[in-house]
Amino acid sequence: MTRSSKASLLIIFATVFIDLLGFGIVLPLLPRYAKHFQADGYTLGLLMASFSAMQFLFAPIWGRMSDRVGRRPILIFGLAGSTVFYALFGIATSLGNDGQLLGLGALTWLFIARIGAGIAGATISTAQAYIADTTTPSERTRGMALIGAAFGIGFTFGPLIGAAFVSAELGGPPSSAPGYVASGLSAVALLSAIFVLPESLRPNSVPSTHHWFDVQILIRTMTRPALGLILFTIFLTTFAFAQFESTLALLTEHLGLAERNNFFVFAYVGFILTVSQGLVRRVLWKLGELRMGALGAFLMALGLGLIALSSQQESCRLLYAVLPISVLGSAALTPALQSLLSQRSSASAQGAMLGLGQSMSAMARILGPVAGMMLYERDVTYPYWGGAALMAAGIVLMILLRIAWSSAEDADEMVKPEDV
């Protein structure tokens, strides 16, 4: 890797990391603030899902545009959007229950801020394309790992920063400071992109013609036993984890944790995720993808069930003790499924198949929060018992996948370019 390539990767890592600090500051507060503004379970679910829905719609748009106009302008546009919409989040939380801005109430502005942040944040795929531009094929895996590292570290330190700007007491009106802090951090990333980040797209690059989500490809793929099982398990896993992720802030409130301690729980989850990724790469990967995936599904089922038990017993200590189990399970299962999906695709069909897997994850991140919030409104334990039941089904799917895998190899079920 050349010195200029290393410098470019360092800059893109810093840019993504700083922007994700803002994401880590806002996410732990969102369900609590919306509930404060009298949102019911369904509305809360839609609010949590709106970010993922916008990413699902706009990631391919920004990707195709970056193929034509360059990576740098799209990344700058996304960071500018994050700066504006995180500031809007701060303004919305300062309005109060009866306050209005331009005739719209606080909850409506929270929706606008979250939708806008989702549109702006959909440029992560452009950051991945930037890394692909500046690395050789042999260096690409290490380069892409920087995005995962930025997520894990940003999700750890973002909540820690946010904790300094909220109350240590339970109750009281929402603080607008976290939104403004997140906006300020995105502004720093924006300035670094404007003044330091070089363009990576080569002048002779040919824009991609792949679509983000093609129903016909999905139907053809789902009819192949091994591939269908992989895609369904990806959806199920992400759906179960999205239920947990979207309701965690409400669970900590139910357990009596103030906003500051709620931030610490999210920082704890981010730290576990970062450590788990290292453990998966160094230890669990030796098991092979099928065994590691089955172990991950088991850990997720066990962990989510224990989280339900901690909420039933209203025990913060038990929650802290069992959180690593489900997070480690997700960290093991997700890369195993992605690797299995990649192995059943020919080299020239990799992009389309992995894109299909990302689409299944995106749909689960849209639907999971809605289901999770509606279940939570009925009973605080339901999202976690439900997630545990889904992952128990995931264990069965991994067993079936192990059976179908050898049959698929015998039948040469490899996806080829003409299939996509």
Residue 69 has what pLDDT?
Answer: 85
Q: Which of 254, 17, 61, 286 is nearest to 153 (CA)?
A: 17
State residue 412's pLDDT score. Answer: 46
Q: Are residues 5 and 113 in the same domain?
A: yes
Residue 184 lies in a domain: yes
pLDDT digits (tens, 9 = 90+) for 181-233: 999 999 998 998 898 888 877 666 555 545 545 555 555 555 566 777 888 89
Is 205 domain-assigned? no
Last residue of one domain, picked from the residues 170, 199, 228: 199
- C-alpha 132/C-alpha 408 separation (Å) is 31
Look up residue 224 and give its amino acid: R
Is 71 within 8 Å of 201 (Cβ atoms)?
yes
227 compared with 407, residue with greater pLDDT = 227
**150 and 265, same domain (yes or no):** no
Average pLDDT taken over every residue of the chain: 83
Domain end residue (candidates: 199, 234, 249): 199
Query: Which distant-in-sequence residues (6+ apart) come within 8 Å of 116 by Cβ?
Result: 81, 84, 85, 88
Domain-located, residue 349: yes
Phi, psi of 258 (to 5 degrees): -70, 175
Instruction: Inform me whether the pLDDT recorded for 314 exceeds 60.
Output: yes
- Binned at pLDDT 50, 70 and 90, residue 326 comes out as very high
Place of tokens 């339901």: 382
- Whole-number pLDDT of residue 216: 58
Flag the least confident range among 34-43, 94-103, 314-323: 94-103
The last residue of one of the domains, among 199, 227, 244, is 199
Kindly report the three-state secondary structure assignment for every residue of 3-56: HHHHHHHHHHHHHHHHHHHHHHHHCCCHHHHHHHCCCCHHHHHHHHHHHHHHHH
Q: Specify whether the backbone of 373 is left (phi greater than 0), alpha (psi in -120 to 50) or beta.
A: alpha
| 404-411 contact pairs (CB < 8 A, 24+) | 404/225, 404/226, 404/229, 405/226, 405/290, 405/340, 407/225, 407/226, 408/224, 408/225, 408/226, 408/227, 408/344
195: in domain: yes
pLDDT in tens, 329-382: 998 888 888 778 777 655 545 555 666 777 788 889 999 999 999 999 999 999
Alpha-carbon gap, residue 95 to 160, rounded angstroms: 25
Position 265 pLDDT exceeds 90: yes
184 plus 215 within the same structural domain: no
**Residue 316 in this model has a pLDDT that exceeds 80:** yes
Report phi then psi at 360, rounded to 5: -65, -40
**Does 379 fall in a domain?**
yes
Q: Is residue 206 in a domain?
A: no
pLDDT of 287 > 90? The answer is no
Q: How far is CA 257 from the centre of its chain?
A: 24
pLDDT tens profile 148-176: 778 788 888 999 999 988 877 776 678 88
Q: Residue 345's pLDDT is what?
A: 59
- Let me know whether 217 and 132 are in one domain: no
Structure tokens at 342: 């990649």
Does one domain contain both 110 and 166? yes
For residue 420, the model assigns a pLDDT of 43
Q: Please count the structural domains in the chain.
A: 2
Most confidently predicted of 26-35, 122-131, 207-216:
26-35
User: Residue 28 is part of a domain; what is its CATH number?
Assistant: 1.20.1250.20
The reply to whether 204 falls in a domain is: no
| Residue written as token pair 């669970």 | 251
pLDDT tier for residue 283 given thresholds of 50, 70 and 90: confident
Paired with 415 in beta bridges are 345
Q: What is the pTM of this model?
A: 0.84
Res. 107: pLDDT tops 70? yes
Report the percent of the chain where pLDDT is more than 90. 38
Residues of the domain holding 299: 211-420
